Amino acid sequence: MKILIVSPSQGHFGGMEGFVIGLASSVRKWPEFELQVCFKLVGKRALESDLKEIASSLDCPVHFVPSGDFKLLKLIRWADIVHGQNTSPDIIFPAWLLRKRLVLTIHNWRQRKLGIHSVLWGIGAKLAQRRWYNSKFVWNTWEPRQKSKGSDCVPTVHNDVVTVSGLPDGWCPPAQRKGFVFIGRWIANKGIEDLVVSYARAKLDPVQCPLTLIGHGPLRPAVESLIVNLGVKGVEMPGFIDARSKAKRLASSRWLVAPARTREDMGVTPIDARSFGVPVIVTRDGGLPESGGEAALLVEPGNIEELTGALRLAASMSDEEYCERGERGRISLKDYLRPMEFYRESYTALYKERS
């Protein structure tokens, strides 16, 4: 069975690219499949070194093509099953015309706007034999009333690498964890400024409850100025760090904070934190309450007072309640995530339908 996993890309390594590479790593191990991966560079985006380097680790052909490149059509023609990310018309309609079996993982919520693009996205989603939405929030924006046959909620992470039955590599005992951590791109509406202001108002011990802001992006100068102007102590900003270092930082933090106010599609970092038994503070924003799980502390997006209160509550929480929340968040991942075998079984079933 020839599988093509194809995704639009801004050229750098991000959440969707990470999902594609993680999925491809598993598919490559299943002997019944022949696999190729394609990243379609949108607009005039250039391929950046981080994505190129990480993609080179895959033991299968990986292609980087600009939008509209004829090579994409050749790859679609080669495949038996096309697994597209989101609803790119230049992937969906050629696959449909060539009578390929088509599955879509839809990562982003639908903004219903007037215009040809919105119409094509809606039609394109209906042409797929399978539609896998990465959160119920995203699903409801695409299918608000009746759910279509072949549609399902499938979070775009998996529990094979970090199992919920055992402790992941890098797990840190609760007694050795300290402070709060934010991990993400430093862009508007991720709530980084809200977090800094709330941390300053909470007046926590900067030694016992430091705040670590991991990532990079255009907001960094503004955040640095805000920290200086507020005179905040205990904030560390290591910038962009590799995956292993990021996991170590996360596991050794007492809480993960995801304070977005941008209708977040899903939120991967709360899931990563839960896998380490690290409880989370998330806003009621998009799919974040789903990824945060039942044990999360929830606050309203953009509400500085609530976030300040949540930080204080988290810092003063008893060890017994803290450990109970962390363990409940970790164990409940079993009911939230799909094993990678889901994709193997789904591809096989889709191929048999074609036959």
Query: Looking at the structure, do residues 316 and 345 belong to the same domain, yes or no?
Result: no
- The CATH number of whichever domain residue 56 belongs to comes to 3.40.50.2000
Task: Give domain status of residue 22, yes or no.
Answer: yes
Angle at CA of residue 348, ends 73 and 51, nearest 5°: 50
Query: Looking at the structure, do residues 301 and 319 belong to the same domain, yes or no?
Result: yes
Query: Looking at the structure, do residues 144 and 183 belong to the same domain, yes or no?
Result: no
**Distance from the Cα of residue 168 to its chain's centroid:** 19
Task: Give domain status of residue 309, yes or no.
Answer: yes
Query: Looking at the structure, do residues 83 and 232 belong to the same domain, yes or no?
Result: no
CA distance 37 to 21: 8
Query: Looking at the structure, do residues 106 and 194 belong to the same domain, yes or no?
Result: no
CA distance 99 to 33: 19
* Tokens coding 179: 């402070």
| Res 161: pLDDT | 43
Strands of the 151-153 sheet, one edge to the other: 62-66, 34-41, 2-9, 81-85, 101-106, 130-133, 151-153
Query: Looking at the structure, do residues 205 and 317 belong to the same domain, yes or no?
Result: yes
Is residue 180 within 8 A of residue 311, CB to CB? The reply is yes
Task: Show Cβ contacts of residue 167 under 8 Å, excluding neighbours closer than 6 positions.
Answer: 277
Task: Give domain status of residue 112, yes or no.
Answer: yes
Query: Looking at the structure, do residues 133 and 280 belong to the same domain, yes or no?
Result: no
Task: Give domain status of residue 295, yes or no.
Answer: yes
Is residue 138 within 8 A of residue 118, CB to CB? The reply is no
Task: Give domain status of residue 93, yes or no.
Answer: yes
DSSP classification of residue 10: -
Query: Looking at the structure, do residues 252 and 116 belong to the same domain, yes or no?
Result: no
Task: Give domain status of residue 165, yes or no.
Answer: no
For residue 98, CA distances in Å to 244, 321, 348 come to 42, 56, 19
| Res 18: pLDDT | 87
| Res 301: pLDDT | 97
Is residue 135 within 8 A of residue 286, CB to CB? The reply is yes
Per-10-residue mean pLDDT of the chain, 355 residues long, equals: 96 87 94 97 87 91 92 97 95 96 96 81 94 96 94 79 48 94 93 98 97 94 97 94 89 97 91 95 97 97 98 97 96 91 96 81
Q: What are phi and psi of 308, to 5 degrees?
A: -60, -45
Query: Looking at the structure, do residues 10 and 141 belong to the same domain, yes or no?
Result: yes
| Res 163: pLDDT | 37
The pTM of the full predicted model, rounded to 2 decimals, is 0.89
192: left (phi over 0), alpha (psi -120 to 50) or beta: alpha
Runs of H (alpha helix) within 208-318 = 220-230, 243-251, 268-275, 288-292, 304-316
| Res 162: pLDDT | 41
The domain of 307 spans 174-336
Task: Give domain status of residue 162, yes or no.
Answer: no
**Domain count along the chain:** 2
* Radius of gyration over every alpha carbon of the chain, rounded to an integer in angstroms: 21
Angle at CA of residue 144, ends 140 and 147, nearest 5°: 85
Task: Give domain status of residue 38, yes or no.
Answer: yes
Query: Looking at the structure, do residues 198 and 131 belong to the same domain, yes or no?
Result: no
Query: Looking at the structure, do residues 104 and 219 belong to the same domain, yes or no?
Result: no
Q: What are phi and psi of 263, to 5 degrees?
A: 60, 60
* Tokens coding 151: 């549609």
90: left (phi over 0), alpha (psi -120 to 50) or beta: alpha
